[in-house]
């Protein structure tokens, strides 16, 4: 028997006052079971990214392009995890499937803003690494504080400018299907699929997806192609290893963020018969794993971050009077 209340949509209506969310398949009978893992993931993500933000903000020697972008990455990770938690915890803790349409659109806005922010920051970090390795002598002159500030503003305007129209477009569309979403949180493609065919905002939606999630990974992997070409020309194996290590954490973060998204896109485009639990799990991995793993990657792989965290954690020695 369906756990949702009956919701019958007429052939062509405006947006209903509520959306219905689904939980993790197989766990709807015991919603409180997965409250603990969700809370643990969120608290560890907040702790890890908060530590990165704290270390970079307090240490003037880390006020450099690479760490400025890492700071923005941690902001996007905390924001993304926080935007997802209200509906996830509502489903897990109390089995709340109905969410007001206004709250759903607000969550959708912030989820996609922070997702595009993360994608934009990963692209900026790839550019930073490509310039540092391919043009080391010109690097300080190319990435000045003024240029970094402009990149930060461009990322902000890109995130807000692309997604600010979406809630208003969706709120004014006609809907031909019951407003039951296929995830535990509100996502733009999910809501847009419920609209009547021929909605003109679908063109704008496609533009948003291609201009961010389609273009960014292509540019990132192009940057790494340039980096790989330079690394092949380095004389010794030790030099290649040392240069490659500076990119290891970032490349891991890129793969962690984009691979589940690419797999989901391929599954949808090719109509691969994947069980719904696997599809839902991939979505959770795409949104929840990067905020949890990124601080660990950068703390382990980046010596300066690791050393400063350990230094802050060490108890201060108090001298004794002789």
Give the span between the Cα atoms of 249 and 261, in whole angstroms. Answer: 19
The overall average pLDDT reported for the chain is 83
- The pLDDT tens digits for 265-286 are 787 777 778 777 777 788 888 8
Name which of 250, 279, 284, 287 is nearest 263 in CA terms.
279
Q: What is the mean pLDDT of residues 47-60?
A: 93
As a CATH number, domain 16-304 is: 1.20.1070.10
Lookup result for tokens 């990322």: 155
- Residue 99, beta-bridge partner list: 19
pLDDT at 322: 43
Half-sphere exposure of 257 (CA within 13 A, CB side): 29
Q: What is the pTM of this model?
A: 0.88
What proportion of the chain, given as a percentage, has pLDDT over 90?
Answer: 34
Is pLDDT above 60 for 26?
Answer: no
Structural domain boundaries of the chain?
A: 16-304
């Amino acid at each position: 028997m369906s756990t949702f209340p009956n919701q019958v949509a007429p052939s062509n209506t405006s947006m209903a006052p509520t959306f219905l969310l689904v939980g993790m398949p197989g766990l709807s009978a015991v919603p409180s079971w997965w409250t603990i893992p969700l809370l643990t993931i969120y608290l560890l993500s907040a702790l890890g990214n908060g530590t990165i933000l704290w270390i970079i903000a307090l240490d003037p020697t880390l006020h450099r392009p690479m760490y400025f972008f890492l700071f923005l990455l941690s902001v996007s990770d905390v924001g993304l995890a926080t935007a997802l938690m209200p509906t996830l915890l509502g489903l897990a803790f109390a089995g709340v499937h109905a969410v007001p349409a206004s709250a759903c659109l607000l969550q959708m806005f912030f989820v996609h803003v922070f997702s595009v922010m993360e994608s934009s920051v990963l692209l900026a970090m790839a550019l930073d690494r490509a310039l540092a390795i391919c043009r080391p002598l010109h690097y300080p002159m190319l990435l000045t504080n003024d240029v970094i500030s402009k990149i930060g503003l461009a990322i902000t305007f890109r995130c807000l400018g692309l997604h600010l129209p979406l809630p208003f477009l969706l709120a004014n569309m006609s809907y031909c299907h019951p407003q039951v979403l296929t995830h535990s949180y509100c996502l733009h493609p999910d809501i847009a699929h419920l609209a009547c065919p021929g909605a003109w905002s679908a063109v704008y939606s496609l533009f948003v997806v291609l201009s961010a999630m389609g273009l960014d990974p292509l540019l990132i992997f192009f940057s790494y192609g340039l980096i790989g070409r330079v690394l092949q020309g380095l004389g010794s194996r030790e030099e290649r290893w040392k240069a490659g290590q500076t990119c290891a954490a970032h490349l891991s973060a890129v793969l962690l963020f984009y691979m589940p998204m690419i797999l989901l896109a391929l599954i949808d485009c090719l109509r691969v018969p994947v069980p719904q639990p696997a599809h839902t799990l991939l979505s959770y991995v795409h949104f929840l794993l990067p905020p949890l793993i990124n601080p660990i990657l950068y703390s382990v792989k980046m010596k300066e971050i690791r050393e400063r965290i350990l230094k802050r954690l060490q108890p201060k020695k108090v001298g004794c009077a002789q």
